[in-house]
Amino acid sequence: MSYASRYFPNEPTAPKVVTESIPGPKGKSAIASLGEVFDNRCAYFVADYEKSVGNYIVDVDGNVLLDAYAQIASIPLGYNNPKLIEVAKSDKMTRAIVNRPALGNFPGADFEQMQRDLLKHAPKGQTHVWNGLSGADANELAFKAVFFNYQSKKRGFDKPFTKEEEVSCMENMAPGNPEIAILSFKKAFHGRLFASGSVTRSKPVHKMDMPSFAWPTAEFPAYKYPLEENEEANMAEDARCLAIVEDRLQNWKCPIAGVIVEPVQSEGGDNHASAAFFQGLRDLTLKYGAKLIIDEVQAGCGATGIMWDHERYNITPPPDLVTFSKKMQSAGYWFHDPELIPNQPYRQFNTWCGDPKGVILAAAICDEVVDNNLLEPLRETGDYFYSKLESIQKQYPKLISNLRGKGKACFLAFDMPSGSLRADFLGKMKLAGVNVGGCADVGVRLRPGLTFEKKHVDIFIAAMEKVLPTL
């Protein structure tokens, strides 16, 4: 019996749409009321999470939708997962919530074990973890670790700050606040805070009107599909992009202390790269003394059929830092070099230093994935899903193009001819009973949870076959 069948015996067997629009009357009213206390402009519909189960999300109008978007890729094991509910009701979780500790100063007696439980699931080669509060926070914390390390190496780890450094940093000036940079890639998304906003390059709306660091960008490979028919062109694209990275590392106006990259540029259009590109990137960071940060916020925790997507590329030596969030229900970064621990206490610090309830959930989620061998059937489902979408693409070549993600479980995407047509498609898919999302200007990205099965794929494909002829 499959995981979904065992854990969600009451999961619907099919979607059910009972209103002429989504949101329906109750949903529209709920969104309007919500607008009195919250910015409601991004709300697609208002969910009833009490009734949502497994791979299905229910809205307040009673519409039951197959969820292939899963809270923007952040629900790993289905709605109302009984194992996670059990963990949520544990005494350990109650203590973590009610007594929310300032972990840096007053860690609980059980916190060490929480961290060890989490570290069991670290990417290969990573031995330490620092906890954060969100994906953007995780990336900003990683930047701080990189900058502290860069300057400490330059100064000498055992040397104290100079008086000039201490005075100048209080005025936001060098040498205490040096001009050093993080390199990111065009179309990247790493968060909406200040430093993370500076390395985000996917859409203007994510960073407009915010002061930003003048940090460099390089180009992420833009492959031709299908991959097997365009190997030579795509190899040339890797070489072109790596040459740009090397130029930035050599010639940027200030030292580049770190390079951050997603295994798949999700928000920026579901752009993929090869093992050769990622190894080439690693080689360049080693050559020029920059740290390599892999942003696994969206691709991590099993989403692509392996626990950490960058591991499929066998990057050698392993990345210096790997950030995580979303499906982990927690956040932070993995690392392995003890010198990335700041040379003085209270440098990498805040009141909470993470969130113990998130750490508990993250470890429980990872245990469920491993103990139930969820990724092997997910890979099989993904292969099946890809083959079905490939047939759809052949049937509707003017509507569906650049199908990508082959071999990466259900972490799939395709493009449509225009943003308006994509919006029409997403809206009609909801009315056909499927919740799915977009990325970049014309991309459709599939982000179901780890319990998605072939029967769910069949429902998704049936909805597409109903919707596409109407576009």
So what's the pLDDT on residue 143?
Answer: 98
Positions of CATH 3.40.640.10 in the chain: 105-371
Is 295 a catalytic site residue?
yes
Please answer whether residues 10 and 53 qualify as being in contact, where contact means their C-beta atoms are separated by less than 8 angstroms.
yes
Catalytic residue among 207, 326, 327, 357: 326
Q: Measure the CA–CA gap between 240 and 250, rounded to whole angstroms.
A: 16
Residue 319 identity:
P
Is 381 a catalytic site residue?
no
Residue among 40, 161, 185, 66 at smallest CA distance from 447: 66
The CA R_g of the chain, rounded to the nearest whole Å, is: 23
Backbone CA torsion sign across 50, 54, 59, 64: negative
Q: Measure the CA–CA gap between 69 and 53, rounded to whole angstroms.
A: 14
Place of tokens 């199908």: 403
Is 326 a catalytic site residue?
yes
Q: Measure the CA–CA gap between 178 and 301, rounded to whole angstroms.
A: 35
Beta bridge partners, 297, equal none
Please answer whether residues 185 and 265 qualify as being in contact, where contact means their C-beta atoms are separated by less than 8 angstroms.
yes
Q: Measure the CA–CA gap between 442 and 377, rounded to whole angstroms.
A: 30
Residue among 416, 407, 369 at smallest CA distance from 385: 407
CA distances from 110 to 13, 84, 116 (A): 41, 19, 10
Q: What are phi and psi of 58, to 5 degrees?
A: -115, 140
Q: How many CB atoms lie within 10 A of CB 256?
A: 23
Catalytic residue among 147, 189, 220, 277: 189
Is 189 a catalytic site residue?
yes
Q: What is the mean pLDDT of each run of 10 residues along the chain (471 residues)?
A: 94 98 98 97 97 98 98 98 98 97 97 98 98 97 98 94 97 97 98 96 93 97 95 98 98 98 97 98 98 98 98 98 98 98 95 97 98 98 98 98 97 98 98 97 97 98 98 97
Reported for 251-255, long-range contacts at CB under 8 A and 24+ positions apart, including other chains, are: 252/181, 252/183, 252/216, 253/179, 254/178, 254/179, 254/180, 254/181, 255/150, 255/180, 255/181
So what's the pLDDT on residue 1?
Answer: 87
So what's the pLDDT on residue 172?
Answer: 97
CATH code linked to domain 105-371: 3.40.640.10
Residue 90 identity:
S
With both helix axes pointing from N to C terminus, report the angle between 454-467 and 375-395 in degrees, rounded to the nearest 10: 20
